[in-house]
Structure 1
Amino acid sequence: MVTVPRDINADANPLRQLSLEQLRRRTSMKWRTYPDDVLPLWVAEMDVPLAEPIARAIVAAVELGDTGYPVGTAYAEALAEFARARWGWDGFAVERTAIVPDVMLGVVEMLKLVSGPGDPVVVNCPVYPPFYQFIESMGRPVVEAPLDPGGRIDFAELDAAFVRALAGGSRPAYLLCSPHNPTGTVHTAAELAEVARLARARGVRVVADEIHAPIVAEGATFVPYLTVPGAESGLSLMSASKAWNLAGLKAALAIAGPAAAGDLARMPEVVSHGPSHVGIIAHTAALRDGGDWLDALLAALDDNRRLLAKLLGEHLPAVRYEPAEATYLAWLDCGALDLGDDPAAVFLRRGRVALNSGPDFGTGGAGFVRMNLATSPELITEAVHRMTAAVTR
């Protein structure tokens, strides 16, 4: 009989429960892409044990042989309860949801529903690199609307991008990243309402990637796009995968605003075959029973943001860092270090620290690196020491 590990304390810091030796035994992308002398603080995997309620649910499914095809609305019902408790979203409509394999594959399907082959997709750069990769793989052009210097949506730029995207009679869509990756910006209700107003005025459909929604810093409040005035025709993608480290257990939900229900209904039924049934079981357990674990994680991430700011101030004061309002990612401006457009390459070669390269995030990413803070304070400290040695040798 399979048993659930009992050394996982829901009240303890999840980021301090695994040793480096244990982490190096993992076979996922984060820990197997680089040699063992490299500290991997790059791809969005967390260095945490699985939350016990999730482990229990998976073990129960395996013991029962419950590994068939997914069906039903349990995931959506769990997300509705979570959204009501965490974000005050009382209007979440389970009947306007559909399971999809993961958020980015869901994004592709939603873009197909609201725009046609060859139609442009607007993004706020710098932004999550797969936005470019998936859009371009669809044969769609990307139209960039750069964020302002503070990392927030620049509405003049956004409107200008909408106008450019509409040229030639196309039906463009706007792929909104909320909270924003890599900056960690949490868009306010007023900002999202302005997004909805501009999109409606220009006839642009909005698809919101809200995968990082549960991961907010103390004092920040996530606002679901579909809750703001004017967003009735929007579509959203959500998942428990980022907040509970479930990327290998594929599942996500597409959610339609009231005026987009007909669009979602046109999604091919075969798309629902892509999610993992065990994944849905795991995500449902996370949303229903993983709240205490998540709260411990959020507190640990707040500590790590403060730690990184302190370490950079002491050892690399030329690096500009503003602790993010959301995500477990840090967006570091290394331009003053004079390391070229891709400082991550220097930190990897000289310091043996793997970070994400800023230029991969599009316009505005040159000179930046993205660091994953979902690890132990000891590894963050070691990484900063290595980065410091890389630029002072």
Structure 2
Amino acid sequence: MNSIPNPLEDLTLGELRQRTSLKWRTYPEDVLPLWVAEMDVRLAEPVARVLTHAVARGDTGYPYGTAYAEALAAFAERRWRWSGVDPARTALVPDVMLGIVEVLRLVTEPGSTVVINTPVYPPFFAFVEHSGRKVHTASLNDAGRVDLDALEEAFRAARAQGEQVAYLISNPHNPTGVVHTRAELEGIAALARTYGVRVVADEIHSPLILPGAEFTPYLSVAGGEDAFAVVSASKAWNLAGLKAALVVAGPEAAADLRRLPEEVGHGPSHLGILAHTAALKEGERWLDALIGGLAANRDLLRSLLAEHLPDVGFRAPEGTYLAWLDCRRLSAHYSDGEASPGVVSDLAGPARFFLDHARVALSSGHVFGEGGAGHVRLNYATSSSILTEAVARMGAAVARSEHASGPR
């Protein structure tokens, strides 16, 4: 039995407001921030311990060794019954998105096309385009899952534009919280083989699988042997400020990975590597307690929305700590602005309404690309009291707006 208390209930609002990170400093103090992917938790004890000891020793030099990759390999075998992480086929990178860019540079040339599913994590647009590649989108289906027919059409169209095509998949998917099934991933792998598309899987949320779902590493499926995964402990253990991630190559992609420039590995922090390694090696009991808390908050969010915002559509996420809320039935209360996908600082539509009228900060759906307008992404990795207060505020704001506008 896990004796670790729910990590999400360990910090008060006052303690959280003392933080100096992006989540808690972007907006004024009267705003409840449920937007960027930071969790309201303390560090897991094994992570805090290894960092404290390193600082006490002055062990703050350059990173060394393969302990991080070995910890990931052992974690994958324990957690997912997958023995496919070979430390010899891994490379250290500063973080997941920079790792993705470096992999895209290995398998495509400037001007090549990268297919992504929308709505999707906004930096997918910016990082791909800033690396000199073109984005081609394939919309998710109405259930927020990969539409294989739409994906095939995107692969076909992308190949018609040039010789090199890559596909960047979010596994699990951000923002819908979908955990792709093995059958879905095998369908994707078959299409990628047919059309000669190289797959890069962003698996940063892979440890955050909620009860009722099962994570399948993309590299574990038949046909995925020439793909790459980019992984990190940062989301599951709240380590975004401690930079370190790993690129994992499938057996047929090992030669490509060997072409990764040596200087890329200079970016990760030694303290970051120590923290991520400790999380994967010794942090599973804490992770299990966190997942229990997230599952409870997912259920709480469902009931809060039913009580305060019954017109908001909600499909319970299978993974991550992100909820994708369909606010299109509230459109009388807001207007969608014009903005480009991927510009994460832009607020429009319901996110702007809830910030202005409820003092709750959410991620604006339109920045996630096609299919995102009229939606918001809500981060429920917080205490039950903060989550309850936030949704109550949102409901009250809608009620006030309806009262002010009169009968419709």
TM-score range, shorter chain: over 0.9
Distance 1:170 1:42 in 2: 38
Does residue 366 (structure 1) correspond to residue 373 (structure 2)? The answer is yes
1:210 counterpart (195, 203, 207): 203
Residue in structure 2 matched with residue 392 of structure 1 by the alignment: 399
1:340 counterpart (335, 344, 348): 335
Residue in structure 1 matched with residue 154 of structure 2 by the alignment: 161
Residue in structure 2 matched with residue 120 of structure 1 by the alignment: 113
Partner SS, residue 116 of structure 1:
coil
Does residue 60 (structure 1) correspond to residue 53 (structure 2)? The answer is yes
Q: Deviations over 1:31-63 (max 9, x none)?
A: 000000100000000000011100000011111
Residue in structure 2 matched with residue 79 of structure 1 by the alignment: 72
Does residue 291 (structure 1) correspond to residue 280 (structure 2)? The answer is no
Residue in structure 2 matched with residue 36 of structure 1 by the alignment: 29
Distance 2:173 2:162 in 1: 29
Distance 2:269 2:56 in 1: 17
Does residue 378 (structure 1) correspond to residue 362 (structure 2)? The answer is no
Partner SS, residue 167 of structure 1:
helix
Contact in 2 for aligned 1:124/1:144 (Cα 8 Å)? yes
Deviation at 1:143, TM superposition (A): 0.4
Distance 1:390 1:367 in 2: 17
Partner SS, residue 98 of structure 2:
helix
* Equivalent residues, number: 385
Aligned residue identity for 1:140: R
User: Which runs of structure 2 are paired with 1:249-328 in the superposition (5 Å)?
Assistant: 249-328=242-321
Unmatched segments (≥5 aa) in structure 1: 1-8
Contact in 2 for aligned 1:10/1:293 (Cα 8 Å)? no
Deviation at 1:121, TM superposition (A): 0.6
Distance 2:301 2:161 in 1: 47
Deviation at 1:10, TM superposition (A): 6.3
TM-score computed with the length of structure 2 as normaliser: 0.93
TM-score computed with the length of structure 1 as normaliser: 0.97
Aligned residue identity for 1:123: I
Contact in 1 for aligned 2:228/2:248 (Cα 8 Å)? yes
1:353 counterpart (335, 360, 368): 360
Q: Deviations over 1:136-186 (max 9, x none)?
A: 111221100000001111011001111121123230100010000000000
Q: Deviations over 1:162-215 (max 9, x none)?
A: 112112323010001000000000001111111111001001100000000000
Distance 2:262 2:59 in 1: 22
Distance 1:179 1:168 in 2: 29
Aligned residue identity for 1:183: T
Residue in structure 2 matched with residue 3 of structure 1 by the alignment: none
Aligned residue identity for 1:162: F
Residue in structure 2 matched with residue 101 of structure 1 by the alignment: 94
1:179 counterpart (172, 177, 182): 172
Residue in structure 1 matched with residue 224 of structure 2 by the alignment: 231
Unmatched segments (≥5 aa) in structure 2: 337-348, 401-408
Distance 1:136 1:347 in 2: 30
Deviation at 1:88, TM superposition (A): 0.4
Q: Deviations over 1:88-139 (max 9, x none)?
A: 0022211100010000000000000011101011000000000011111112
Residue in structure 2 matched with residue 199 of structure 1 by the alignment: 192
Runs of 4+ residues deviating >4 angstroms: none
Distance 1:11 1:27 in 2: 26
- Note the aligned Cα RMSD (angstroms): 0.9
